[in-house]
Amino acid sequence: MQQLLSKYGTIIKREALSGSSLQQYCDNLILESKDPFPGYYCSEIQLTDNSCKEISYYLPVVAIKIPVKDKLCRISLKIQKELDIQVCQASIIIGGKYSHAIRIKGINKSSDLLAAVTSGFIENGIGFYRPRKVHTYLSEIYLKAFFEIEQHNEFIYQNAIDRNIYYLPIDESLEWKTFEHLITYQKSTIKFKNFDAVPGYWIEKPDFIDFIRIYSKNIRLDQLNIIRKDFITIMNGYFKDKAVL
């Protein structure tokens, strides 16, 4: 049996957010990701089919004076344990500015679970924005969360809760724009393309561990190894050419 590891860190991604279909059941502004894991297609024939992917919901938090990150983390863990759903702190762009937010997964469009989550935060002094109409827009998203993972080998970790998620360590810290440039080029050069990839890192001593987060159903370990090796080759070439310039 593989050992279960717990790590804490950040995922960086960009997804389309919009007003949620659950807004009618909520007195606070709630956004949803219409196309989570946008690099992965449920059907390679019908590319707009997202039926196999779980929706994430985001509740932007009104600015408060307390140390908000620690408090959001503490409340998130408490609610996650009580309700057996995924709750973590996030930063999203709304109105052209970054805002603290709560990211929720696993409620299966349940208005009752949504109400329980929001009540848990409000009871602890966290305020949310009033509802308003929000058209679809692209937002960079930073997720701060604990990761329950299993290690397959030195270079492949798998999420213990969502078995379609993997983490591939790399030796560089990448900003979103640089990562997007590299992964877009990689996907144009390899045969297997049906996966979503974003950068992230775990906070550890003596150094942070940077990684690529991969989402794909039924992906094999040999495919993951190829993705990692190919990405590192492209990344090293990019930084080498950049240094020469």
Look at residue 141 and tell me whether its pLDDT is greater than 50. Answer: yes
* pLDDT at residue 244, rounded to an integer: 39
Q: How far apart are CA 154 and CA 79, in angstroms?
A: 33
Q: Tokens 């190829």, residue?
A: 226
Instruction: Produce one character per residue of 218-228: b if its CB has 16 or more CB atoms within 10 Å, e if not.
Output: ebeeebbeebb
The torsion angles phi and psi of 85, rounded to 5 degrees, stand at: -130, 175
Residue 205 CB coordination number (10 Å): 5
Q: What is the mean pLDDT of the chain?
A: 90
On whether the CB atoms of residues 197 and 214 are closer than 8 A, the answer is yes
On whether the CB atoms of residues 230 and 190 are closer than 8 A, the answer is yes
Look at residue 46 and tell me whether its pLDDT is greater than 80. Answer: no
Percent of the residues in the chain that have a pLDDT greater than 90, as a whole number: 72
Name the pTM for this structure: 0.92
Q: How far apart are CA 212 and CA 170, in angstroms?
A: 7
Residue 63 CB coordination number (10 Å): 9
Q: How far apart are CA 186 and CA 231, in angstroms?
A: 7
Look at residue 66 and tell me whether its pLDDT is greater than 70. Answer: no
For residue 245, name the pLDDT band (cuts at 50, 70, 90): very low
* pLDDT at residue 47, rounded to an integer: 63
Q: How far apart are CA 3 and CA 241, in angstroms?
A: 40
